[in-house]
Structure 1
Amino acid sequence: MKQKPVILLNIDSLMSEPLEVATQTGHAPALQFLMEKGSYIPNMVSSFPTMSVTIDSSLLTGTYADKHHVPGLNWFDDSRKEIINYGTGFRETLRLGMRRSVHNMLYRLNNEHLSSDVTTIYEDLANMGIPSASINSFVYRGNTPKRLHVPRLLSTLTRFEDGEWTTNATSILSLGLFSKLRPRGFTLQIAAGNYKYTARELRHLIRRKQLPGFTFCIFQDLDARIHFRGPMDIKGIAKIDREIQKTLNMYPSWEEALNRNVWMVMGDNGHSPTGASYRKFVIDLRKTLKKYRIGRIDRPVHKKDQIVLCVNQRMAYIYILDKNLSLSEVSEQLKNDPRIDIIARKDGDFIHVTSGMREGSLHYCPTGEYTDEYRQTWSMEGNPELLDLHVKNNNELFYGDYPDALARVYSVLHSHSGRFIVVNAKPGCDFKAQSTPFHLGGAAHGSLHKQESLVPLVIAGTTEKPLFPRMVDMKELVLRLNCQRDNSRI
């Protein structure tokens, strides 16, 4: 029996509570149908930082950032002494250089930054002879060389000669104006379409009977709405649901859509509501660390610069360039701000965690006498309350406010080279550096907290589930479903 194609719809910033409200009040009948006919997991653990490119890299490679090496939307490449930004906000991107950011996002992310030591779902499926499709995702690395074209009006924004470049991608790739499935398709977005464009590209594949073994679609619009309107925005979910309805309506019945395909719908990150007072809720790291010389983003790093700041909304990297400046000294300075709930750094083979909110410290490293709920083992000493860890009988570890915290904090501190500290803001607060966007009275993400880390997953058309409710376990599920397809051919 031929295995069904797998369609994964990733709705950027979809969260369990507003999803449940939308379906229970009749605002999202398509999602309600999929939830009732399939499995619903409300607490899938995202990656860290909870930012799109890191999340997509974790989902597609089945690894955290220590393996796939995409540390966030904004980070510092110590080997090149340059800030890597994939587009965090107009003012910050403009100061860093629009051409450089676009080049990072469209090309270097997949061809240089995403580690060659890991493989994506697309690459593994291609090695099995199974094609795949990527629609609207900036992480698209596959085994098929693709010649992508830059529209003439946008050529000044890129570094590609003659407005074209070759990249290794999925066999079917849709990426806004750079690669379209429908010849006459048009989007106002430069590099990725809006929710209607994404759905139309997917429906094009269904209409042409060209669905591959795996199709990954991203609907991005909800994220922007939530940043300004707050986490409980139902209208955005309803708009995307109408596009899913149109897609299911292409089949004789919605039940038949499940008979022919496996449908998965999931969020990528949640949001934390942010306070309305700048003084109380915006953590300006330049002021917190004002005693040090901090590099500016609108010029190359100077030899005299001691620190570089890379903010990912509610999480930030603090890079220590001055070799005479210790990580512990800067950590102590950060502890003076009670709005910073986690301060983490490498300390030899261990991870050292302190806080501006709580007393004490925590030292830990992989492998040891403690076993967590994901069957990972750890050595640990100090105050477990810093990561809201709960130790039960027989040294069993359970997570509270920071899901899979030990693995996720470890991963970012081993995700790239350099001397740096990772900081996490308490709920309601946003980090800020030079020209960093912040979200007063709205919502933001990026942090380790469960508000941003737990997302919903709906699976319909199969009874299979991921081994654990984590983003990094999605790859194994997709490959398992497609291995069933591969075995059916034997």
Structure 2
Amino acid sequence: MKNNKPSKKPVILLNIDSLMPQALEIAVQTDQTPALKFLMENGMYFSNMVTSFPTMSVTIDSSLLTGTYPDQHRIPGLHWFDTRNLQFINYGTGLRETFRIGWRQSVHNMLYRLNHEHLGANITTIYEELGKKKLHSASINSFVYRGNKPQKLKTPKTLRAFTEFENGEWTAQVPPIFSLGTFSKIRQRGVPTQIAAGNYKYTAKELRYLIRKNKLPSFTFCIFQDMDARIHFKGPTDIKLIKKIDKEIQKILNMYPSWEKALEKNIWMVIGDNGHAATGTSYRKCIIDLRKIFKQFRIAQIQRRPKSKDQIAICVNQRMAYIYLLNQSVSIRKLIELLRKESRVDIIAWKNGENIHVVSGIKDGMITYRAGGLYTDIYNQNWSIEGQLDLLDLTLTNNQYLSYGDYPDALARLSGALHSHEGNFIIVNAKPGYEFKAQSTPFHLSGAAHGSLHRQESLVPLIIAGTKEKPPYRRFVDMKNYIIKLIDSN
């Protein structure tokens, strides 16, 4: 360990963006994905891993790699508002919205500020934890990458105009082995098919190189990002890219004398990051335009700093949104009253001191809760709670035991988002089938979208093969410590 040698059984975690239980199970049961079927049949399969909230990749990956919700890792979503610096933060939600905010600013946010300014300084990533133990790790294709090793990254000349780095260069803190498209490659002759990352084939080639050169570290994290864009337009049951990614996993397993030997050599994990909720075909029915709901207020424009007369700011993350109060003259009660008139909104939440309040556009009543109290949930978290529990589909047994229905780990996940950054704001969550819109927001008619607290986007599959040790709870925030324990024990 002191010489940075890998553990006896390296852990390889393959994150397939937008992999969902139903589509995976259909692909496996119809024998269209031999590699995933082999891993499932020779390992453990969990169909209900609880992801982070909002169910957007940067927030989810931050939770996976730090073992915390956004109240600690401080990445509130793909789009949020920095009330201290009066600035919209966008990591790349869509072409029109990114163009409005500014390419240079968005690229800088994604490549640098996400890891070196926004990601919580008081928490550590799995890369940093392993580095303290003198163990190596690898990150392939992940925009959340903070590690212990300083590395100079250089932007190609053709792209320098789109960055804020002097001469297109910056120093990043990365894992010992780091791959991120044109900015850092494991295979020096490799040609990324995308500017800042690489498609599923490129990711697989980078991993195969490590195996072929016997350079696998104790932990390797790979992301296959391609499927998300396809699901947005084809819907949540599409399996075309699952089959293509499976072929790449087959090639990886074929590098060993047998697939069984691959399980003897390594611990393999395959996980989704978020699900999708199918969307309808009618713009008028399915798209909730928050600008119309708040038309009586002056709404800040995303392409500039808010003006003194601006009253609210809106940051949409597909099926959830943050609504910020910029002016003390604005009544939060008035905003909530307007939202409650919208029957396509199922959760409206805000904080007041230690208390969190939840109402709905569907049902009457209110929930008020806070951390600590008499009630214990299935994750051994304690809460004080009163009001209409059905607003969050909560069930309370006679022995004061809380369980979750349509909104998995809702109390902790809502609290995490509401305490993820400074400001006076409201969280809104759309019913399945509906999506929010504000200025230049992308939307996905006749396809699918994510972002919300609902189980359709919050429960994803996990396959583990090569070990019999199970995660303590079926949540992303428990994976970091679970993986480190696996590495320490072998």
Which of the five TM-score ranges fits, normalised by the shorter chain?
over 0.9
**What is the identity, as a one-letter code, of the residue corresponding to 1:245?**
Q
**Residue 275 (1) aligns with residue 280 (2):** yes
Q: Structure 1: which 5+ runs fail to align?
A: 486-490
- Cα separation, 1, equivalents of 2:7 and 2:72: 34
Structure 2 partner of 1:488: none
Q: Which residue, out of 362, 366, 387, partners 1:382? A: 387
Structure 2 partner of 1:33: 38
Structure 1 partner of 2:252: 247
Q: How many residues align?
A: 485
Give a deviation string over 1:250-292, Cα, whole Å, max 9, x none: 1111001111000000000000000111111100000011110
**Residue 422 (1) aligns with residue 427 (2):** yes
**What is the identity, as a one-letter code, of the residue corresponding to 1:157?**
F
Q: Which residue, out of 206, 218, 224, partners 1:219? A: 224
Give a deviation string over 1:17-61, Cα, whole Å, max 9, x none: 100000111111000000000000100000000000000000000
**What is the identity, as a one-letter code, of the residue corresponding to 1:181?**
I
Q: State whether residues 14 and 222 of structure 2, in contact with CA within 8 Å, keep that contact through their aligned partners in structure 1.
A: yes
1:329-348 counterparts in 2 under 5 A?
329-348=334-353
Structure 1 partner of 2:188: 183
- Cα separation, 2, equivalents of 1:93 and 1:432: 15
User: How big is the shift at 1:323?
Assistant: 0.9
- Cα separation, 1, equivalents of 2:258 and 2:65: 31
- Cα separation, 1, equivalents of 2:484 and 2:8: 12
**What is the identity, as a one-letter code, of the residue corresponding to 1:255?**
E
Structure 1 partner of 2:203: 198
- Cα separation, 2, equivalents of 1:291 and 1:189: 43
**Residue 126 (1) aligns with residue 148 (2):** no
Secondary structure at the counterpart of residue 141 of structure 1? coil
User: How big is the shift at 1:227?
Assistant: 0.3
TM-score (normalizing by structure 1): 0.98
**Residue 365 (1) aligns with residue 370 (2):** yes
**Residue 392 (1) aligns with residue 427 (2):** no
Structure 2 partner of 1:166: 171
- Cα separation, 1, equivalents of 2:174 and 2:331: 42
User: How big is the shift at 1:183?
Assistant: 1.1
User: How big is the shift at 1:7?
Assistant: 0.2
- Cα separation, 1, equivalents of 2:147 and 2:353: 36
Structure 2 partner of 1:298: 303
User: How big is the shift at 1:400?
Assistant: 0.4
Secondary structure at the counterpart of residue 142 of structure 1? coil
Give a deviation string over 1:328-373, Cα, whole Å, max 9, x none: 2211111110001000000221001011011111100011111111
Structure 1 partner of 2:3: none
Secondary structure at the counterpart of residue 418 of structure 1? coil
Structure 1 partner of 2:154: 149
User: How big is the shift at 1:324?
Assistant: 1.6
Structure 2 partner of 1:408: 413
User: How big is the shift at 1:326?
Assistant: 2.4
1:97-112 counterparts in 2 under 5 A?
97-112=102-117
**What is the identity, as a one-letter code, of the residue corresponding to 1:209?**
N
**Residue 78 (1) aligns with residue 83 (2):** yes
TM-score (normalizing by structure 2): 0.98
- Cα separation, 2, equivalents of 1:119 and 1:326: 38
Structure 2 partner of 1:96: 101
Q: Which residue, out of 474, 481, 487, partners 1:482? A: 487
User: How big is the shift at 1:484?
Assistant: 1.3
Structure 1 partner of 2:233: 228
RMSD of aligned alpha carbons: 0.9
Secondary structure at the counterpart of residue 115 of structure 2? helix
User: How big is the shift at 1:3?
Assistant: 2.6
**What is the identity, as a one-letter code, of the residue corresponding to 2:233?**
F
Q: State whether residues 8 and 263 of structure 1, in contact with CA within 8 Å, keep that contact through their aligned partners in structure 2.
A: yes
Tell me which stretches of 4 or more aligned residues in structure 1 moved more than 4 Å: none
**What is the identity, as a one-letter code, of the residue corresponding to 1:258?**
L
Give a deviation string over 1:358-413, Cα, whole Å, max 9, x none: 11111000111111110101001110111010111211111000000000001100
**What is the identity, as a one-letter code, of the residue corresponding to 2:338?**
Q
**What is the identity, as a one-letter code, of the residue corresponding to 1:402?**
Y
- Cα separation, 2, equivalents of 1:427 and 1:373: 25
Q: State whether residues 64 and 408 of structure 1, in contact with CA within 8 Å, keep that contact through their aligned partners in structure 2.
A: yes
Structure 2 partner of 1:434: 439
Structure 2 partner of 1:265: 270
Secondary structure at the counterpart of residue 393 of structure 1? coil
- Cα separation, 2, equivalents of 1:64 and 1:173: 24
Q: State whether residues 7 and 218 of structure 2, in contact with CA within 8 Å, keep that contact through their aligned partners in structure 1.
A: no
User: How big is the shift at 1:187?
Assistant: 2.0
Q: Which residue, out of 313, 322, 326, partners 1:317? A: 322
Q: State whether residues 87 and 101 of structure 1, in contact with CA within 8 Å, keep that contact through their aligned partners in structure 2.
A: yes
User: How big is the shift at 1:2?
Assistant: 5.3
- Cα separation, 2, equivalents of 1:164 and 1:349: 43
- Cα separation, 2, equivalents of 1:128 and 1:326: 51
Q: Which residue, out of 14, 18, 21, partners 2:23? A: 18
Secondary structure at the counterpart of residue 394 of structure 1? coil
Structure 1 partner of 2:451: 446
Structure 2 partner of 1:114: 119
Give a deviation string over 1:179-235, Cα, whole Å, max 9, x none: 011111112311110000000000011111100000000000111110000001111
Q: State whether residues 322 and 428 of structure 2, in contact with CA within 8 Å, keep that contact through their aligned partners in structure 1.
A: yes
**What is the identity, as a one-letter code, of the residue corresponding to 1:413?**
L
**What is the identity, as a one-letter code, of the residue corresponding to 2:38?**
F
Q: State whether residues 327 and 345 of structure 1, in contact with CA within 8 Å, keep that contact through their aligned partners in structure 2.
A: no
Secondary structure at the counterpart of residue 415 of structure 2? helix
- Cα separation, 1, equivalents of 2:20 and 2:214: 32
Residue 2 to residue 74, structure 1, CA distance change in 2 (3 Å): closer
Structure 1 partner of 2:476: 471
